[in-house]
Amino acid sequence: MLRLPSTDGVEVAVYDFGGGGPPLLLAHATGFHAHTLEPLAAGLRGRFRCWAFDERGHGDSPPPASGSFDWHGFGDDALAVVDGLALERPFAFGHSAGGAALLLAEQARPGTFRALYLYEPVVLPLDPPPGPSDDNPLAAGARKRRDVFPSRADALANFAGKEPFSVLRPDALQAYVEHGFADEPDGSVRLKCHRDDEAETYRMGSAHDAFGRAALVRGPVTVACGELTSALGPAAAGPLVDALPAARLEILPGLGHFGPLQDPDAVAASVLSFFASA
């Protein structure tokens, strides 16, 4: 693990997932962390050198000093990794909030990324954005989340039996638990992503302006969604594709919002196909 300075007092935790070829940066979804994308990276590192990072307030990256979870900060974290590793026009993959983070990074510094693959990026097709969502049900659910378990085995059993975690491929779920909990002095384990930080991330997800600034993203983009998603499907992805200068829509059969963790191999095949053409 490396630590690279970002904005608002954040030092971003960065991981080398290996591979050979041009650099590929991976950005995770809200409430998760970089290691949940290791199964996806396993299908990509035959063609790319894969790097991933914990966004602020997630995994081993601390929350912002100001307490603000303005999503532009997630874009800052992505740029901090690109700069700190001296990556030259990397490819990038983002899932959910990670997809929005990459768009915001590219808008802040056009030309940073060679091509973007965004799986259900959290970008509402509204300009101007509606602002923070104080009644966001995901935020309410996060605040009620159980965050301490007697052991990682207990945590794994708990998450394996409830949605949305129950749809994750076993190795992705194992990575979530193994790297997403910190050891407590009494032997129990506690979620690294504090439930209030996760809730605030959800609350602020409708406040950023990535949709209104889509025209700044000139490079090739795939916006993907799962055929069975109950989240950001074609109704949300279509307007974003139309707003981006060089974008295409791909619908992956049989997958939902957590497709990159549900079937990493299928998503990796889609990513490889797009980046080969890009």
Delimit the domains of the chain by residue range: 2-137+201-277
Length of the chain in terms of residues written: 278
Q: How many CB atoms lie within 10 A of CB 187?
A: 8
Cis ω for the linkage preceding 164 (within 30 of 0): yes
* Closest listed residue to residue 155, CA positions, set 113, 191, 201, 106: 191
* Cα–Cα dist 57/8, whole Å: 12
Domain 2-137+201-277 CATH class label: alpha beta
- Please report the beta strands in the chain, taking only residues with DSSP state E, as ranges in sequence order: 2-5, 11-18, 23-27, 49-54, 91-95, 115-119, 148-149, 181-183, 189-191, 221-226, 247-252
Tokens of 135: 């009644």
First-to-last C-alpha distance (Å) of the chain = 30
Predicted local confidence at residue 148, as pLDDT = 98
Which pair of tokens denotes residue 78?
A: 């992505």
Q: According to the model, what pLDDT value does residue 163 have?
A: 87
| Distances in whole angstroms, Cα of residue 155 to Cα of each of 105, 158, 243, 249, 252 | 34, 5, 41, 36, 30
Distances (CA, A) of 236 to 76, 216, 225, 229, 251: 24, 19, 10, 11, 12
Q: What is the largest CA-CA distance in the chain?
A: 54
Q: Assign residue 18 a region: left if phi > 0, alpha if psi is -120 to 50, beta otherwise?
A: left
Tokens 């991933």 locate to: 52
pLDDT along the chain (278 residues), means of 10: 98 98 98 98 98 98 98 98 98 98 98 98 96 95 95 97 94 98 98 97 98 98 96 92 98 97 98 96
- Rounded Cα gap, residues 35 and 207, in angstroms: 27
